[in-house]
Amino acid sequence: MRLPKEVLKEVFGFDSFRGLQEEIIEHVLDGGDALVLMQTGGGKSLCYQIPALCLNGITVVVSPLIALMRDQVESLKQLGVRAAGLNSTLTLTESTQVEQSMVSGQLDLVYVSPERLLTKTFLDLLNRCDVALFAIDEAHCVSQWGHDFRPEYLKLTTLHERFPQVPRLALTATADGPTRRDILERLSLQAGRLFVAGFNRPNIFYRVVSKDNPRKKLLHFLESEHSGESGIIYHLSRSKVEDTSQWLVDQGYSALPYHAGMSKKLREKNQDRFFKEEGVIMVATIAFGMGIDKPDVRFVAHMDLPKSMESYYQETGRAGRDGEKSTAWLAYGVGDIGKIINFIDISDSPVEQKRVERQKLEKLLGYCETTLCRRQVLLEYFGETLKQPCNNCDTCLEPVESFDGTVAAQKALSCAYRTGERFGTMYIIDVLLGVKNERIQSFDHDKLSTYGIGREFSKEEWRSIFRQLVAMGLLKVDIEGHGGLRLGPNHRPVLVGERTIHFRRDAGRLSKQKKRKAEKQLGKSTFNNPSDDALFQALRACRMDLAQEQGVPPYVIFHDSALSDMVQNKPHTLEEFSMLHGVGEAKLKRYGNDFLTVILEELQN
């Protein structure tokens, strides 16, 4: 049997394991079952790919999406690994060839969907194979509490029943306590080990902004931090996806839409461009979800609020999978809260599940409105403690000032009540500010005692206060009343002065000094030396040429982090090139001379 460390270096080009990888791999090689929770980009795939190359027999990887299978199979082939995928895109002849290779022992890994895996034909095929390991990727799909529940995952206990001697490794990047327990129970993994490798993504900068003039804020974000870089922008609705995509194109960006209402052919075409071209922005609904394994996504922007912390973590985790500096950017407002609550209420989910989903939303609102380090709040949700503030989120770089907002809360709650608990945020703010318009006068709300009593705050400041009141549950968004604000169940202690309220004071315009400091820390990763930057761009061009020749995404040849390593070390020989991060034997043989030629030519210029 090959040794794991030898495989790590010879095949994958890495000198050492990260975190719990080595312990997990040894456990699997000893025949143990396990559930692995490891942050996106933390190297989950190696936990089953290396055992697959050490064990005799074939490793069967259960994967929920064709795009994910295709991407991982191509990446493994680039490394010289015998891998294949079985999915609906293959012809009958191609499928038959893969099946024959499985039986004859000519494959190390085969990727298959849960639907195909559970067919009688495939299970019978497995009886004729020497199966060494089952790897169940995206294992949170088995849980009703998970954010991507897939009913077919529930039947995967069949593997344990039919092949009790074969170890099973379930893997996910996103699972809170209830979801973990659900995975262990539904996959009959209670006797296996639980490995929790941590959820921290230190390379991701987290920022939340208020949802006033969101397009202007998004454009500034793209121009100042991520010009020319790949990213994903999420919207809740298909129409907004289309509108924002076209708007970005009009602004000069290479942007594409993606949602379930598009034809399958167009979705696949846009996804293919996103993977294979540089600097493409995908504007999408959550239909563009699992399987996004593109390592050089430099930002994920949410133009609408996700439904839970799990969804937020999973979606933002598609940024910076290569470990390079990236950004998670979120704009939200009171209107988003009503939409999410509406989605929960109109769903066919049981009452208990709706209750849990509401609690998850409340946790996300708390994250959005926190005055603490965002990373600490995010990690605490998943049961992980970060002892010191991260200094890589907006609340760390620009500490949020808080103030005693008890009187402001009383004014806001009183005004919502006196206007009938049926008007939206902006109308109530207009009443508080004493705005004179026909609508207010038609309801005689200019005669209320709360009319004009809130002039000490601006409209933007009141918007922030109302957002926080909703996040605290002191106001509720009434969906049936078309978004009107109603008093929450715990409003009375605030109104009568028995409870003190503190609000975060949203930052206004940054001083020039602070703005320069923030942009310096948040700006995209570039080389200070112009010659190094020129070398990096030349290496990217070489990578793109090679990728286009083969019809594969550039990152399956080398990640940006590997190109950066080439720039920093500037190897002159194949032996020096072989020492770079991510350069294994197959890639050294296949690409070493191409990239060395570029490096040496640039050094002569």
Summarised one tens digit per residue, pLDDT across range 298-357 is 999 999 999 889 889 989 999 998 888 999 999 988 888 878 887 888 888 888 888 888
Residue 518 lies in a domain: no
Q: Are residues 313 and 355 in the same domain?
A: yes
pTM over 0.95: no
Residue 522 lies in a domain: no
The residue from 350, 368, 399 where one domain ends is 399
pLDDT of residue 307: 87
Q: Are residues 390 and 463 in the same domain?
A: no
Please write the tens of the pLDDT for every residue from 164-198: 999 999 999 877 778 888 899 999 999 999 999 88
Residue 285 lies in a domain: yes
pLDDT of residue 323: 87
Determine the distance from the C-alpha atom of residue 429 to the mean position of all C-alpha atoms in its chain, rounded to a whole number. Answer: 35
Report how far apart, in Å, the C-alpha atoms of 68 and of each of 74, 289, 294, 361, 526 are: 10, 10, 10, 28, 29
Phi and psi, residue 413, nearest 5°: -65, -40
Strands (E), 173-316: 193-196, 204-210, 231-234, 255-258, 281-284, 299-302
Which amino acid belongs to residue 302? H
Report how far apart, in Å, the C-alpha atoms of 226 and of each of 275, 299, 399, 533 are: 17, 8, 24, 16
Q: Are residues 559 and 592 in the same domain?
A: yes
Q: Are 390 and 378 in contact (CB under 8 A)?
A: no
The whole domain housing 114 covers 4-196
Residue 521 lies in a domain: no
Share of residues in the chain with pLDDT > 90 (%): 67
The residue from 196, 222, 248 where one domain ends is 196
Residue 140 lies in a domain: yes
Q: Are residues 144 and 235 in the same domain?
A: no
Q: Are residues 41 and 175 in the same domain?
A: yes
CATH number at residue 410: 1.10.10.10
pLDDT of residue 290: 65
The residue from 354, 375, 399 where one domain ends is 399
Report how far apart, in Å, the C-alpha atoms of 538 and of each of 225, 257, 294, 424, 600 are: 22, 30, 21, 54, 11
pLDDT of residue 401: 85
Q: Are residues 427 and 370 in the same domain?
A: no
Q: Are residues 74 and 113 in the same domain?
A: yes
Q: Are residues 487 and 534 in the same domain?
A: no
Q: What mean pLDDT value characterizes the chain?
A: 90
Residue 387 lies in a domain: yes
Q: Are residues 190 and 102 in the same domain?
A: yes
Buried b (16+ CB within 10 A) or exposed e, 480-504: eeebbbbbbeebeebbeeeeebebb
Q: Are residues 303 and 345 in the same domain?
A: yes
pLDDT of residue 525: 47
Neighbouring residues of 498: CB distance < 8 A, sequence distance ≥ 6:
492
CATH number at residue 367: 3.40.50.300
Residue 559 lies in a domain: yes
Parts of the chain with a pLDDT under 70: 144-147, 290-291, 479-483, 507-526
Q: Are 261 and 253 in contact (CB under 8 A)?
A: no
pLDDT of residue 448: 96
CATH number at residue 560: 1.10.150.80
Q: Are residues 368 and 273 in the same domain?
A: yes
Residue 495 lies in a domain: yes
Please write down the HEC assignment for all residues of 56-90.
CCEEEEECCCHHHHHHHHHHHHHCCCCEEEECCCC
Q: Are 128 and 60 in contact (CB under 8 A)?
A: no
pLDDT of residue 35: 96
Question: What DSSP string runs through 321-358?
Answer: TTSS-EEEEEEE-HHHHHHHHHHHHHS---HHHHHHHH
Q: Are residues 37 and 135 in the same domain?
A: yes
The total of structural domains in the chain comes to 4
Q: For residues 306, 308, 314 and 319, what is the CA-based torsion angle, rounded to 10 degrees? A: 40
Tokens at 412, concatenated? 């806001």
